Amino acid sequence: MRYLANENFPRAAVEALRAAGHDVAWVRLDEPGATDERVLARSRAEGRVLVTFDKDFGELVLKRGLDASQGVVLLRLPFRPPDELAARAVAALTARDDWAGHFSVVDEDRVRMRALAR
């Protein structure tokens, strides 16, 4: 799967996804300081599911209607040491392959998915 990890996504999770065979670009390395709008546009342009801990993407996609047809996964996990957080994020992301076309929220015990207009 192709992911775009937002700037706030932990290095350990990026590396674990890559080790699991996923194609992961990381905003922190490629475009640090990019606006959320730019990150969302890049996700679309590159055909990557955006993975983030930033709730602002919900506002951009669900309230302002910006195109997120590649999918957004918002992780709402409690604070943990980086390796534990990475393991939980990778487990959630690799458990499914239907992120595209949805705004998804992953929390400790469930995944909520909302289909996006295309």
Domains, the chain, ordered by start? 2-115 (3.40.50)
Count Cβ atoms within 10 A of the Cβ of residue 105 and give its class: 0-12 exposed, 13-18 middle, 19 or more buried: middle
> What sign for the dihedral angle of Cα 8, 50, 20, 105?
positive
Q: How many helices (H) and strands (E) does the chain have?
A: 5, 6
Q: pLDDT tens track of the chain, all 118 residues?
A: 999 999 999 999 999 999 999 999 999 999 999 999 999 999 999 999 999 999 999 999 999 988 898 999 999 988 778 888 888 889 999 999 999 999 999 998 899 999 987 6
**Triad 36, 37, 40: Cα angle to 5°:** 85
Q: Which of 3, 93, 6 is nearest to 57 (CA)?
A: 6
